[in-house]
Amino acid sequence: MGTLADIQRQRNLDSQNCWQAFHNHRAAVTDALCSAASSTGQRLCVLGAGNCNDLDLQVLGKRYAEVVLVDIDSQALAAGKTLQNADPLDHVRSCGGIDLTGVMDVVDRWTPGAPGSDDEIDRCIERAKAFAAPQIGGPFDVVGSVCLLTQIIEMPVLALGPKHPRLHELIFALRDRHLQMLAELVRPGGHGVLITDFVSSDTLPELASIPEDRFEQAIGEQIERRNFFTGANRIALFSLFQTAPLLSPLVSDCKLMRPWRWTLGPRTYAVSGIAFKRRS
């Protein structure tokens, strides 16, 4: 297995030519980010932009005075801008090579066969909690995290294995810090949007065929049955924004978006979003 960054680069390459498959998902994501702007002339930052297949850069470039795309994969950002003819848009700026967890270099040294010791995991958790938001020109009027959370959650799964006794502890530390960092990058009075996939057809085979008028109800039933990616339960995430000690004082006006479907290759995903306002 390559490094975590190598794995992400390969996934971006694998989906680089899947522009059409992202159509409905891209429309939902772009609409959510455009709706978060409260006026013209504002600045948008997108965390986890990847190859930008889930972003309509032409639409966002017209809605915002500046769009900052952030990802670990510089090549994917460049390819995404080229595909969408966004290179001439000098107000669409890329920030590549950025680890948005602060611990990727540590977790990269572990494997399920040789996981970190308890002391190493302790230090990794403390480092993740203390990780400062990257210097990318913030704070911004609007910040979106786009299907990045489950990639962050997957890091410790790949490094420790799905049965490691401290897996969930590390997952939750990384998740909670990501939510806090998302809010910290928003200027006071600005808006943030968390968009994440939370269940797939791997564990819900009928996901693609659920009637649209029953979709949200059916997804709610699956959450009650605990069928969701660990750390990505949309209801639990919404609760964190309202109750978590380090997060809730930063945000207000939280809204849970209606879920939608995203089909990519053999899998279908359920995706949802949470919009919030940064407290003044």
Tokens 């269940």 -> residue? 199
Query: CB of 173 within 8 A of CB of 106?
Result: no
Q: What average pLDDT does the chain have?
A: 95
Q: How much is the pLDDT for 88?
A: 78
Q: In DSSP terms, which residues pair with 255 in a beta bridge?
A: 275
Give the confidence band of 17 by pLDDT, cuts at 50, 70, 90: confident
* Residue 93 pLDDT > 80: yes
What type of residue is 69?
L
Q: Which CATH superfamily is domain 4-278 in?
A: Vaccinia Virus protein VP39 (3.40.50.150)
Considering Cα of 230, then 233, then 100, then 15, what sign does the dihedral take?
Answer: positive
Q: Summarize the confidence of residues 192-209 as an average pLDDT.
A: 97
Q: Summarize the confidence of residues 242-246 as an average pLDDT.
A: 97
Q: How much is the pLDDT for 167?
A: 98
Q: Summarize the confidence of residues 143-150 as an average pLDDT.
A: 98
Q: How much is the pLDDT for 124?
A: 98
pLDDT tens track for 29-65? 999 999 999 998 999 999 999 999 999 999 999 999 9
Give the confidence band of 1 by pLDDT, cuts at 50, 70, 90: low
pLDDT tens track for 214-232? 999 999 999 999 999 999 9
Distance CA 219, CA 207 (A): 9
Q: How much is the pLDDT for 99?
A: 96
What type of residue is 183?
A
Q: How much is the pLDDT for 5?
A: 84
Buried b (16+ CB within 10 A) or exposed e, 240-264: bbeebeebbebbeebeebebbbbbb
Q: How much is the pLDDT for 86?
A: 82
**Domain-wise residue ranges, the chain:** 4-278
pTM listed for this prediction: 0.95
* Residue 241 pLDDT > 70: yes
Give the confidence band of 239 by pLDDT, cuts at 50, 70, 90: very high
* Residue 89 pLDDT > 90: no
pLDDT tens track for 256-270? 999 999 998 899 999
* Residue 2 pLDDT > 90: no
Give the confidence band of 11 by pLDDT, cuts at 50, 70, 90: confident
Q: How much is the pLDDT for 78?
A: 94
